[in-house]
């Protein structure tokens, strides 16, 4: 029996929420994004897209293309709240609901269709419900697999609904540009075009032997997808594997003390997130990017899995020292991972010190939860008045 997978993708999500909250923006080109210097576009309204503005574009370029655009800062908390509301509207349709990001989800309706309903009718109902309950538009794709449903939802934005009937997957995909295939980014697109592959249909017709070894395991996977075979499952709850924080400076930094201070603040944030989600990290990765956009990472395994700032920061700082990094720095970041549930914490004679720090950290977390993040901070991070 063919599966019935629905992909839902909110239309210009961040920008649409800004228009919702500030109705005077309706009909205007709206860009949600970071600062004009070193910022990028997070979302653009369709009016802004008409000028060639799209997400991930450097802000300077976006404003050159559309000087009259209204630029709004990113309000992550607001989008997150809206996302949760939308998921509660999707949940009644199936227990097999996989949230992919703040504005995207998959539903597997194969065994959850009400009598007399079809994938298309449920998708249409979802679109209507979301518009009524939130005032926001979304596009949907219905197909026998996730990747194909996603490509379908992408085809007629905004407020589209595209159904790919079972058996018509390959025909649906064939005319699309090769770069539209999920898993084909800039690098793979370049290599495929060099082989004369310009559309998904070109790839589907390519003899497997012509792919050779240059695409690794993804080669056969891309070929299968191009031919319409798409059987990855909808997985409701995925285990997080890492938690990280990074920041780009307004201007490059060379002072070691500044790098360390930022690293401590980022690590503090990561540790708090670990505790909030009941995870222990087995390792730490430091990330640095220089003024020429060259990025390096350095990672290490912790002596004991941990969720306290002191242990994570000691490791991150040691990595910074060992990296012998003296370049002008534009970005610094720290990631904790791989993760394990805190319930797996081993009794350890040497972990008593950690245990005290965890109790202090837990008390601080509680104060932040009650009075806000600014209520308490480390002496080393306190702003000098």
Partner DNA sequence: TCTGGGGTCCTAGGACCC
Cβ distance to DNA smaller for residue 40 or 176: 40
CA atoms of 309 and 377, how far apart (whole Å)? 13
Tokens of 9: 């993708």
40 is an interface residue for DNA by CB under 7 A: yes
C-beta separation of 185 from 161 below 8 A? no
CA atoms within 13 A on the CB side of 364: 19
Comparing C-alpha atoms, which of 144, 143, 140, 170 is closest to residue 155? Answer: 140
Which tokens hold the place of 102? 């703040």
Q: Residue 80 is encoded by which pair of tokens?
A: 């997150």
Other residues' Cβ atoms within 10 Å of the Cβ of residue 244 = 16
Task: Give whichever of 25 and 151 is closer to DNA, judged by the CB atom.
Answer: 151
Q: Is residue 303 within the footprint of DNA (CB under 7 A)?
A: no
Residue with Cβ nearer DNA (126 or 225): 225
CA distance 80 to 108: 23
- In the region spanning residues 2 to 31, those forming contacts with DNA, defined by CB under 7 A, are none
> 48 to 107, contacts with DNA by CB under 7 A?
55-56, 58, 60-61, 64, 100-104
DSSP 167: T
Residue 240 or 360 having the CB closest to DNA: 240
Task: Identify residues 305-344 at the interface with DNA (CB under 7 A).
Answer: 330-331, 333, 335, 337
**Binding segment (CB under 7 A) for DNA, from list 35-43, 88-96, 167-175, 225-233:** 35-43
Helix (H, G, I), strand (E, B) or coil at 377: coil
Rule CB under 7 A: choose which of 240, 363, 366, 375 binds DNA.
240
Tokens of 38: 């070193």
Consecutive H or E run containing 259: helix 256-276
Determine which residue in the list 1, 187, 257, 343 makes contact with DNA, applying CB under 7 A. Answer: 187
Catalytic residue among 18, 24, 104, 260: 104
Window contacting DNA (CB under 7 A); options: 113-121, 130-138, 285-293, 375-383: 285-293
Q: Is 104 a catalytic residue?
A: yes
Tokens of 151: 């490509």
- What are the phi and psi torsion angles at 30 (to 5°)? -115, 130
Shortest CB 197 distance to DNA, Å: 13
Binding DNA by CB under 7 A: which of 168, 246, 252, 290? 246
Compare residues 122 and 184 and give the one whose CB is closer to DNA: 184
* Under rule CB under 7 A, residue 183 binds DNA: yes
Site for DNA contains 243 (CB under 7 A): yes
Angle between the N-to-C axes of helices 76-90 and 13-21, in degrees from 0 to 180, rounded to the nearest 10 = 100
Among 2, 27, 37, 348, binds DNA (CB under 7 A): 37
Stretch 209-238 residues interacting with DNA (CB under 7 A): 216-218, 238
In angstroms, the CA 353 to CA 56 distance is 44
Minimum Å distance from CB 188 to DNA? 3
Nearest of 144, 267, 87 to residue 152 by alpha carbon: 144
CB closer to DNA, 121 vs 214 = 214
For DNA, the binding residues in 106-165 under the rule CB under 7 A are 150
Among 69, 184, 316, 351, binds DNA (CB under 7 A): 184
Measured CA distances, 248 to 34, 74, 251, 273, 327 (Å): 11, 15, 8, 20, 14
Binding footprint of DNA on the chain (CB under 7 A): 34, 37-40, 42, 55-56, 58, 60-61, 64, 100-104, 150, 181-189, 216-218, 238, 240-248, 273, 282-283, 285, 292-293, 295-301, 330-331, 333, 335, 337
| Residues catalogued as catalytic | 104
């Amino acid at each position: 029996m063919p599966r019935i997978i629905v992909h839902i993708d909110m239309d210009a999500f961040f920008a649409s929420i800004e228009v919702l909250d500030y109705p005077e923006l309706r009909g205007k080109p709206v860009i949600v994004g970071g600062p004009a210097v070193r910022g990028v576009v997070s979302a653009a309204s369709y009016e802004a897209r008409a000028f060639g503005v799209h997400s991930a574009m450097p802000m300077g370029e976006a404003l050159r293309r559309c000087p009259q655009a209204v630029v709004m800062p990113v309000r992550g908390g607001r989008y997150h709240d809206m996302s949760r509301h939308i998921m509660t509207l999707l949940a009644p349709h199936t227990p097999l609901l996989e949230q992919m990001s703040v504005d995207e989800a998959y539903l597997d309706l194969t065994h959850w269709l009400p009598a007399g309903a079809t994938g298309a009718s449920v998708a249409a109902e979802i679109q209507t419900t979301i518009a009524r309950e939130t005032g926001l538009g979304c596009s949907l794709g219905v197909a026998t697999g996730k990747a194909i449903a996603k490509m379908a939802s992408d085809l007629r934005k905004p407020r589209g609904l595209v159904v790919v009937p079972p058996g018509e997957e390959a025909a649906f995909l064939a005319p699309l540009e090769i770069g539209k295939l999920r898993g084909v980014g800039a690098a793979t697109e370049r290599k495929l075009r060099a082989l004369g592959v310009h559309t998904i249909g070109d790839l589907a017709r390519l003899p497997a032997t012509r792919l050779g070894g240059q695409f690794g395991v993804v080669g056969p996977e891309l070929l299968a997808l191009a031919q319409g075979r798409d059987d990855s499952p909808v997985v409701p709850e995925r285990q997080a594997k890492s938690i990280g924080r990074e920041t780009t400076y307004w201007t490059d930094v060379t002072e070691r003390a500044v790098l360390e201070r930022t690293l401590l603040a980022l690590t503090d944030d990561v540790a708090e997130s670990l505790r909030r989600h009941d995870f222990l990290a087995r390792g730490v990765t430091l990330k640095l990017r220089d003024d020429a956009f060259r990025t390096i990472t350095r990672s290490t395994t912790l002596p004991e899995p941990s969720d306290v700032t002191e242990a994570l920061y000691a490791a991150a700082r040691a990595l910074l020292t060992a990296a012998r990094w003296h370049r002008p720095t534009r970005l610094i970041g720290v990631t904790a991972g791989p993760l394990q549930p805190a319930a797996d914490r081993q009794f350890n004679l040497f972990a008593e010190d950690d245990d005290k720090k965890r109790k202090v950290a837990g008390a601080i977390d509680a104060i932040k939860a009650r009075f806000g993040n600014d209520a308490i901070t480390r002496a080393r991070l306190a702003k000098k008045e």
